[in-house]
Amino acid sequence: MAGMKTASGDYIDSSWELRVFVGEEDPEAESVTLRVTGESHVGGVLLKIVEKINRKQDWSDHAIWWEQKRQWLLQTHWTLDKYGILADARLFFGPQHRPVILRLPNRRALRLRASFSQPLFQAVAAICRLLSEAVTHPKTLSLLRPYKVVLAGGVAPALFRGMPAHFSDSAQTEACYHMLSRPQPPPDPLLLQRLPRPSSLSDKTQLHSRWLDSSRCLMQQGVKAGDVLWLRFKYYSFFDLDPKTDPVRLTQLYEQARWDLLLEEIDCTEEEMMVFAALQYHISKLSQSGEVGEPAGTDPGLDDLDAALSNLEVKLEGSAPTDVLDSLTTIPELKDHLRIFRPRKLTLKGYRQHWVVFKETTLSYYKNQDEAPGDPIQQLNLKGCEVVPDVNVSGQKFCIKLLVPSPEGMSEIYLRCQDEQQYAHWMAGCRLASKGRTMADSSYTSEVQAILAFLSLQRTGGGGPGNHPQGPDASTEGLNPYGLVAPRFQRKFKAKQLTPRILEAHQNVAQLSLAEAQLRFIQAWQSLPDFGISYVMVRFKGSRKDEILGIANNRLIRIDLAVGDVVKTWRFSNMRQWNVNWDIRQVAIEFDEHINVAFSCVSASCRIVHEYIGGYIFLSTRERARGEELDEDLFLQLTGGHEAF
Amino acid sequence: MGESSEDIDQMFSTLLGEMDLLTQSLGVDTLPPPEPKPPRAEFNYSVGFKDLNESLNALEDQDLDALMADLVADISEAEQRTIQAQKESSQNQHHSASLQASNFSSAAPLGYGTNAAAIGISQYKEDLPPPPADPVLDLPLPPPPPDPLSQEEKEAQAKADKIKLALEKLKEAKVKKLVIKVHMNDNSTKSLMVDERQLARDVLDNLFEKTHCDCNVNWCLYEIYPELQIERFFEDHENVVEVLSDWTRDTENKVLFLEKEEKYAVFKNPQNFYLDNRGKKESKETSEKMNAKNKESLLEESFCGTSVIVPELEGALYLKEDGKKSWKRRYFLLRASGIYYVPKGKTKTSRDLACFIQFENVNIYYGTQHKMKYKAPTDYCFVLKHPQIQKESQYIKYLCCDDARTLNQWVTGIRIAKYGKTLYDNYQRAMAKAGLASRWTNVGTVSAAAPAQPAQSTGPKTGTSQPNGQMPQAAHSVSAVLQEAQTRAETWKDKKPALGNHHQPGTPRAPQAPKSSLPPPPPVRRSSDSSGSPATTPKAKGTAGGGFLSPPIDFLPPPPPPPPMDDPELPPPPPDFMEPPPDFVPPPPPSCAGTAGSELPPPPPPPPVLDPDSARPPPAVAKRPPMPPKRHENPAPPGGAGGGEQDFMSDLMKALQKKRGNVS
């Protein structure tokens, strides 16, 4: 109806020319010009555009983007007047879904088509569905703008087009799924050292300034097709972690936790790091050996046996040698010449050779073999004792340090073995005995093998950082401890110091399955005091210096910027309301008992703070009604806002 | 005594399930009144344990008596159970068998006279004894066809065989047991047997039943090391025998049963631990105002997530230097992975922390009066040590806080770090227990409970004769309650006869019966009872000769109504019989007649019938004998109505529990 003219060619209706560029925001893009009136509906305009272009193509995903207003014209029944579009509007007719490169928590990159027109929250939810139907908690994920430096690590980006929702369709998609659901091998330590790490609290605030706004679409936030985006868990409330139904989520969470630790986004102590390293080692070993299945131990039969044994244990354990049962079965013993050292005050004696008999859980030693039937010099029941390896493979030192509890305290004793074989057998016996089991236990042999394997690891491992060829098989791959710990430990310890400590920690987790180990890792991560705190630099009202606001899933923390001390904590459960004054970029929060807090945001926009608070409130409401569908409206209501553009 | 027997009963029930051996010939004889023991050949306890004997010797007479009573009761209960099981399969056999079998030669009387110094614990391994009771469960039974009367002997034989089998099985599964002496807060002590599978929670439940305390969550088992001046409460999930086996033979350590508010304080006022900003009074004030809802959400947040949140705790504490009496102030931090300290010249950031101790191999204790003993700066000390260490050693870590509040925060924080969610689970169980107890009391279930108990107590054996025995008891218990119970019992009977009592009586009553009898002030009665209830005693003795089983239990329980009741009240006894009835259930009528002698129990359903049944009386008599002994031992509750009620309550609970177990 627009475009009526007089004979002279003058337009007599109120129509005007509207120029629409076709394609993504490209200045060179072809354009079409239409005559429209203010009364034209967007849907009609779309039709005309398509007619004008006159090309056969699926245009269903295309929509009009209004550049100046940074807005999609998605309401096809609205008129141009209603949108306020005039002839000077720069409009682009382009696809709503565009490719982006998504960097996942495991640092792998994926190219996929994401919606540029939906609010980010929905877009992320759609991505999560795509990645795995099992990722049922998209709310905790969000997108980050990448660092300027794009990671140049040696990870091959896995490609996949977003079409297939199920991963079993082809070999390619299956590989993709494996990438998602299996933990990645440890990173190259050199890479680790190159990656930026926060050196102070204010550095940590940088990361959190880059979150995208979840109520606006990607396009509105200046993201272009082909950009790299990071996908990360943003809200640290993870419920219903179920390894069976959620392998992708569990794995990605594990990966995020691991990188948090490796990059020192979160600090931990040395002891904790060793446990994390041991778990990583164990996890990567399992995932590489392909045993993703349930009882993934290195020895699948072990679990059953263990269960059976622990049942039996009740009967066997603690019963003295007079046990009827014990007498029925022959318990293997170890007898050999070992050198023994008992550290004592005022003693200069070193290792002395003794005849040592290890039976059941008891270790006895004699002056020499001839006296063996008689009374031993000493007899130690190893149940409940602490067994510490003291090994230096290259130095051919194979010692076992035993801390044996007794009513008088702990007695310390060192056994020195001659070679690896002897060491492995005695060590395995000691470890079992410390758990109250004897060498008749079926796990004895596997324990011996595991110790031998570790010894060989130590021989090959511990080389310089990064020069390790990654073998296809875990058994041939050496343990490179530097890939498992944060760089500051790389500086602090030599590899050969780290290896035994990691292996020692490993013995406590060696029986876990892949999923259990990942879960354990995540739990340990969650147990760190600084877990789940997102840092933002703010200035409190009335204060003259910048401070750090930590936002956790249950509280806000005011932290001194210089020292890092916690100044004050407010819990969300006491919060009455919070308001954002977008004009002066100030967040005001009211707590019970008329406690009011106000601050302006320095390092990040106050929208990010607002979204964090709203997001956690949203999650806490959801906690009470688990299993519900995601209430998107509520989320947007809590995290949305009217920021002035 | 009654109380102790209750405990034991419970223990037994669990034990039975697991095939433990009960050992003992505790000196039934030892008991002052030479009571005939309930003899069951099979059940006889052969006292085999050396250690046991030692430990028994160490006990005081009273304790011994109580213990004995318990054992006897246990046995009888075990019998009952077995019987029930057998009944299900076959009916009467068991009873008869058991009766006949009973040869109870009570082992020679133990020299209980020797009251050695009270040893907290005596340990004996199961090797000892024969597994009398347990077997029953296992062997439910093969009893052949029921030919009650004539075949009694055969049945007995069958039963004996079964028992043998059971014994063998038991031998295989040796269960370690300890007789422990628990000090109560009134300075009295109770002895009870704990097997190696029992957790502190189980032992507490036992003690609840014995003491009729209010069952609140603050009750705990508490270990004290006089030598080191340290003490701590057992966590409910801890294995008691395991902990006690770390004690040395000559230890002065003691186990107490007392209330400690600290035990679950964190769950009552989590804000004091989680929201306490060190030293800031304002937070303290606000935290105390926290309402229940917020507490709940705080707890959920802390304990119900993927991982438990350990309270943030840090501050300067005094550390005793190894081997010296000097204390050094250091800044410590608690993390889930252990306690850390800030090394000199470092900051308290995670990367600088040095590990002080991890919790895997240590327990936490309160130190008492260390100000005096070790010149500690204050008396608010806590100690970390390996549970096996019993003497002073450099491996024991002593720490000292500025005030009691800090001390509790540290101790609780460490417990949370060490035990994690288990602690919360323990608390919830304790709450459930306490809640159940209070509810029962409120309901005034007494009446219901009372009837149930009697039924069980009487057990199959006691049968009609019981009334006599019961009478005395009735007197003890509140008459009103009893009456109610009786009436109920009667009603039950009416209903049950057809059913075969198992249901009602069997489940609830069986367990209860023993308990009910126990709770009452048994000891007192002993003397009085024995003499007081002549009728019963004589019978008992007579039976003793016969070598009856442990019917005694039955007698006690039945809190029979007042004497007058007796005649009319025979019915009440039936309740006691309830159990027996089950056996009969299938063939109610026949069994009554046939088994009458041995199987008195069956009759229970039709109380009226009982009287008529001549057959039953005899058996009852036989059975009775045993009972008397028990009475003596566990003088039923002398009269304390209140006490009786409580017992009922606990019994009821037990019964319910057992019922569940039985049903399943």
| Contact assignment for A408 to B353 by CB distance below 8 Å | no
Distance from CA of B394 to the nearest CA of A (A): 7
DSSP A183: P
| Contact assignment for B391 to A408 by CB distance below 8 Å | yes
Instruction: Say if residue B513's pLDDT is above 80.
Output: no
Instruction: Say if residue A447's pLDDT is above 60.
Output: yes
Instruction: Say if residue A255's pLDDT is above 60.
Output: yes
HEC sequence for B161-186? HHHHHHHHHHHHCCCCEEEEEEEECC
Minimum-distance CB partner of A271 among B176, B308, B337? B337
Count CA within 13 A, CB hemisphere, residue B479: 6
- What pLDDT, on a 0 to 100 scale, did the predictor assign at position B531? 39
Question: Is residue A546 classed exposed, middle or buried when 0-12, 13-18 and 19+ CB atoms within 10 A define those classes?
Answer: middle
ipTM: 0.78
- Name the more confident of B369 and B30: B369
> In this structure, what token pair is assigned to residue B114?
């020797």
For every residue of B270-313, DSSP letters joined together read THHHHS--TT-HHHHHHHHT--HHHHHHHHHHHHSSSSPPPPPE
- What pLDDT, on a 0 to 100 scale, did the predictor assign at position B408? 92
Minimum-distance CB partner of A410 among B286, B390, B395? B395
Assess contact for A142 and A211: CB atoms under 8 A: yes
Inter-chain Cβ pairs, chain A and chain B, closer than 8 A = 117
Instruction: Say if residue B138's pLDDT is above 60.
Output: no
β-strands A141-144, A228-233 pairing: antiparallel
- What pLDDT, on a 0 to 100 scale, did the predictor assign at position A173? 57
| Contact assignment for B197 to A527 by CB distance below 8 Å | no
SS3 A80: helix
- What pLDDT, on a 0 to 100 scale, did the predictor assign at position B98? 40
| Contact assignment for A269 to B335 by CB distance below 8 Å | yes
Interface test with B, best of A201, A272, A344 (most B CBs within 10 A): A272
β-strands A228-233, A97-103 pairing: parallel
For every residue of B114-174, DSSP letters joined together read --PSPPSEEEE-TTSS---HHHHHH------S--TTTTHHHHHHHHHHHHHHHHHHHHHS-
Q: What region does B200 belong to: left with phi over 0, alpha with psi -120 to 50, or beta?
A: alpha
Nearest CA in chain B to A531: B309
Instruction: Say if residue A70's pLDDT is above 90.
Output: no
User: pLDDT category, B171, cuts 50, 70, 90?
Assistant: low
Nearest CA in chain B to A313: B173
Q: What is the mean pLDDT of residues A357-386?
A: 83
DSSP A5: B
Cβ partners under 8 Å of residue B75, min gap 6 = B12, B22, B38, B40, B43, B45, B132, B133, B549, B550
Torsion angle in degrees (nearest 10) through CA of A250, A251, A256, A260: 100
Q: Lowest-confidence range among A204-213, A552-561, B323-332?
A: A204-213
Nearest CA in chain B to A328: B172
Q: Lowest-confidence range among A188-197, A367-376, A461-470?
A: A461-470
Distance from CA of A212 to the nearest CA of B (A): 27
Instruction: Say if residue A493's pLDDT is above 80.
Output: yes
Q: Lowest-confidence range among A91-100, B64-73, B376-385, B583-592?
A: B583-592
- What pLDDT, on a 0 to 100 scale, did the predictor assign at position A231? 81
- What pLDDT, on a 0 to 100 scale, did the predictor assign at position B407? 93
Nearest CA in chain B to A434: B361
Distance from CA of A620 to the nearest CA of B (A): 10
DSSP A417: E
Count CA within 13 A, CB hemisphere, residue B526: 21
Q: Lowest-confidence range among A342-351, A624-633, B55-64, B347-356?
A: B55-64
User: pLDDT category, B542, cuts 50, 70, 90?
Assistant: very low
> In this structure, what token pair is assigned to residue B349?
């950031």
For every residue of B39-93, DSSP letters joined together read P-TTT------HHHHHHHHHS-HHHHHHHHHHHHHHHHHHHHHHHHHHHHHS-TH
Instruction: Say if residue B432's pLDDT is above 80.
Output: yes
| Contact assignment for A318 to B351 by CB distance below 8 Å | no
Count CA within 13 A, CB hemisphere, residue B320: 28
Percent of the residues in chain B that have a pLDDT greater than 70, as a whole number = 39
Question: Is residue A243 classed exposed, middle or buried when 0-12, 13-18 and 19+ CB atoms within 10 A define those classes?
Answer: middle
CA separation for the pair B330, B342 (Å, rounded):
7
The residue with tokens 């309401």 is A75
User: Where would I find the H helices in B356-445?
Assistant: 370-374, 404-419, 421-443
Q: What is the mean pLDDT of residues B252-269?
A: 89
Q: What is the mean pLDDT of residues B459-466?
A: 37
Minimum-distance CB partner of B171 among A322, A324, A530? A324
Tell me the chain B residues in contact with residue A324 when contact means C-beta distances shorter than 8 Å: 127, 171-172, 174
β-strands B121-124, A333-341 pairing: unpaired
Nearest CA in chain A to B301: A554
Nearest CA in chain B to A575: B294
Q: At what angle do helices B61-89 and B2-18 cross, to 10 degrees?
A: 40
CA separation for the pair A325, A438 (Å, rounded):
13
Convert the pLDDT of each residue in A27-67 to its tens digit. Answer: 677 888 888 888 888 888 888 888 888 877 888 888 888 88
> In this structure, what token pair is assigned to residue A350?
């070193």
Instruction: Say if residue B609's pLDDT is above 60.
Output: no
- What pLDDT, on a 0 to 100 scale, did the predictor assign at position B179? 85
Minimum-distance CB partner of B388 among A405, A488, A568? A405
Q: Lowest-confidence range among A281-290, B170-179, B356-365, B593-602?
A: B593-602
Distance from CA of A353 to the nearest CA of B (A): 28
> In this structure, what token pair is assigned to residue A175?
């590989």
DSSP A222: T
> In this structure, what token pair is assigned to residue A304?
């059953």
Minimum-distance CB partner of A405 among B351, B355, B386? B386
Q: List the domains of chain A with CATH numbers.
A: 15-95 (3.10.20.90), 98-234+237-268 (no CATH), 333-439 (2.30.29.30), 534-638 (2.30.29.30)
Distance from CA of B473 to the nearest CA of A (A): 41
Q: Which amino acid is at A366?
A: Y
- A→B contacts (Cβ < 8 Å), by residue, are 238-239, 241, 267-272, 275, 314-315, 318-320, 322-325, 384, 386, 405-410, 488, 519, 522-524, 526-530, 554, 564, 568-569, 571, 573-574, 593
Interface test with B, best of A408, A493, A595, A623 (most B CBs within 10 A): A408
Convert the pLDDT of each residue in B337-391 to its tens digit. Answer: 999 999 988 888 888 889 999 998 899 999 998 888 888 899 999 999 998 888 8
Percent of the residues in chain B that have a pLDDT greater than 90, as a whole number = 12
| Contact assignment for A522 to B337 by CB distance below 8 Å | no
- What pLDDT, on a 0 to 100 scale, did the predictor assign at position A438? 80
CA separation for the pair A606, A264 (Å, rounded):
25
User: pLDDT category, A277, cuts 50, 70, 90?
Assistant: very high
Instruction: Say if residue A613's pLDDT is above 80.
Output: yes
Convert the pLDDT of each residue in B179-209 to its tens digit. Answer: 888 898 888 888 888 888 889 999 988 888 8
Cβ partners under 8 Å of residue B264, min gap 6 = B217, B218, B427, B430
- What pLDDT, on a 0 to 100 scale, did the predictor assign at position A311? 46
CA separation for the pair B305, A154 (Å, rounded):
36
Distance from CA of B255 to the nearest CA of A (A): 18
Tell me the chain B residues in contact with residue A522 when contact means C-beta distances shorter than 8 Å: 306-307
CA separation for the pair A250, A612 (Å, rounded):
22
CA separation for the pair A539, A543 (Å, rounded):
7
3-state helix, strand, coil in chain B (%, to 5): 55, 10, 35
Closest CA to A34 of A23, A43, A45: A45
Distance from CA of A110 to the nearest CA of B (A): 29
CB atoms within 10 A of CB A643: 16
Tell me the chain A residues in contact with residue B390 when contact means C-beta distances shorter than 8 Å: 407-408
Instruction: Say if residue B71's pLDDT is above 90.
Output: no
Interface test with A, best of B388, B389, B393, B418 (most A CBs within 10 A): B388
> In this structure, what token pair is assigned to residue A220?
């509105």
DSSP B236: T
Interface test with A, best of B351, B353, B363, B421 (most A CBs within 10 A): B351
Nearest CA in chain A to B358: A271
Closest CA to B548 of B19, B110, B75, B22: B75
DSSP B503: I
Minimum-distance CB partner of B358 among A241, A271, A530? A271
| Most confident by average pLDDT, A77-91, A225-239, B57-71 | A77-91
- What pLDDT, on a 0 to 100 scale, did the predictor assign at position B578? 41
